[in-house]
Amino acid sequence: MSVPAFGLGTFRLQGQVVIDSVRTGLELGYRAIDTAQIYENEAEVGQAIAASGIAREELFITSKIWIANFAKDRLIESLKESLQKLQTDYLDLTLIHWPSPEDQVPVAEFMGALLEAKRLGLTRQIGVSNFTIDLMQQAIAAVGAENIATNQIELHPYLQNRKVVEFARSQGIQITSYMTLAYGEVLKDPVIQQIAERLQATPAQVTLAWAMQSGYAVIPSSTKRANLQSNLGATTLTLSESDMALIAGLERGHRLTSPKGIAPQWD
């Protein structure tokens, strides 16, 4: 897999809160960190990473280009600004955060600029986020599927996004699941709770393990040390085929993220 299976998300975390979360995560053994320009926390994430003393090559840092920076003459400059904030010379993965609203900047333009950033050594890999099948097809036409490491999408037991997953897999594009715990909604699900009880695991561990066993990368976030520690347990948890099938049966098309004016026409 070109993207680590397990990482630390930083969505909605800012200031000292994100510094503490990243610092604690790194102490506990997390090595992949996911941020974005629009989170307005890249500088704090960079500060926590720098203070950790962990060698850069041991880390996998992802950030995402915001829609205001898609134009060819702006994308690379904005990425350089992100690198300054993160106190690093390169990103391991740079994603297009959302498609351009109403196609104001064509997919070919921003994907071309992103590929150029890769050629310049500003990022090791590139990818997309919140892309539908149609948008992935446009991105593939622009830069080739071999240059698209992942499509990061909302994916949890209540929204399994199977059409997008199937298409991405057919093209060799990895899926990264965000909001894998559906803001905690799935942790209250009786099916997941029963599996957790039987395995002497937490509902969060079961859900994250389900996603990883399904072949997805996950980036859960937390501000609590105990939860950060506990979530790591998902990496050593194995679910049976029947457990996997039970969770697969929870699909209900329950989408939590669809910002007005930005979200595409979902598959």
Give the three-state DSSP class for 62: strand
Tokens 């629009």 found at: 38
Angle at 114 between CA 176 and CA 85, to 5 degrees: 80
Tokens 């997953």 found at: 165
Residue 137, burial from CB neighbour count under 10 angstroms (0-12, 13-18, 19+): middle
**156 has binding-site annotation:** no
What is the helix (H) or strand (E) element at residue 48, kind and residue range?
A: helix 42-52
Residue 104 structure tokens? 């104001």
Distance CA 217, CA 219 (A): 7
Q: Active site includes 39?
A: yes
The catalytically annotated residue of 39, 158, 178, 216 is 39
Which of the 8 DSSP states describes residue 158?
T
> Which residues fall within 8 angstroms of residue 256, CB to CB, at 6 or more apart?
154, 159, 179, 182, 183, 185
Distance CA 125, CA 3 (A): 9
Distance CA 246, CA 227 (A): 25
Residue 64 structure tokens? 């995402």
Give the three-state DSSP class for 150: strand
Distance CA 128, CA 144 (A): 13
**Residues carrying an active site annotation:** 39
Which residues participate in the annotated binding site? Answer: 97
